[in-house]
Amino acid sequence: MTGYRSFVAIGDSFTEGLNDERPDGTYRGWADRLAEILAGGSADFAYANLAVRGKMLTEIMTEQLPVALETKPDLVTVCAGGNDIIVPGADVDAKAAEFEAGIAALRAAGIEVLIFTGPDTKSMSVISMLRGKVAIYNAHVRAIADRHNTKIVDLWSMETLHDIRAWSGDRLHFTAEAHRRIALRTAEALGVPTAEDWREPWPETDGQQTWLTLRRSDLEWTRVHLLPWIARQLRGESLGDGITAKRPSLTPLREQTSTAPRCQHGSTLTEPADN
């Protein structure tokens, strides 16, 4: 037994699980993987994943947070704000304050909370321009964790995520292997032992050639990913429009069905820029 009997995950595409795709087209992701670890073979372990791709911080706090507060699970994980701070002109400090209000509400309800910093984008071509804003938001997140006595997973410091193989072609979402490592890191932060180590080095490869390939793909990435994202922003649209949570209620993990939203091949996996 891991000490946890119920777990609710709230957030955006990171927590929904993009781009850790199952054979049937649904997304798994670190949260599903963590639930499997926390269940520890227990038949009555309950899990809900309310995260939806493209959700902004206010949407998460008004739509998903109340559900978590009402169900009062043993654990709630929160990763939110990434979609807000990448928008030009966003007030990072104001968004951090909004994030903190949600965390304070969960802690006031006596719920154990785990939060995440954003990853370091230094090595990602073009996306690296967001690094300063992510760092400022992360400083707030660390302070919030300290003030409210929450557990935290520092994605910024996870060196295994600095490898290009941790990132999907959209440069914003993680690969299945990265989701696996993040689940292991999160379990470690919760004090839950695992049989695998998230620090395990990636297999040797010609790194220079790998990064050269990425640099050469900047124009293609701009055409396929960046420009569609800008167009959606101008139209007030999101990849999450019409998408519902894959596990909207706290139910036994073993009862998971295949009703989760399927990815739209050629769109969901190729038009990211909503985290």
| pLDDT for residue 213 | 57
Can you give 132-149 as a three-state secondary structure string?
Answer: HHHHHHHHHHHHHHHHHC
Mean pLDDT (10-residue bins), the chain, 275 residues: 91 96 95 97 94 96 98 98 90 98 98 97 74 95 98 97 88 93 98 97 73 59 63 70 92 65 33 43
Any idea which residue has 């071509």 for tokens? 125
Q: How many structural domains compose the chain? A: 1
pLDDT value for 62: 98
In a domain, 17, yes or no: yes
Q: Distance between CA 242 and CA 151 in Å, rounded?
A: 32
Whether residue 271 lies inside any domain: the answer is: no
CATH number of residue 55's parent domain: 3.40.50.1110
Residue 151 lies in a domain: yes
Residue numbers of the domain that contains 151: 6-201+208-255
Any domain includes 270: no
Residue 275 inside a domain? The answer is: no
Q: Let me know if residue 196 belongs to a domain.
A: yes
| Residue 80 within any structural domain of the chain | yes
pLDDT of residue 221: 62
Q: Is residue 272 a part of any domain in this protein?
A: no
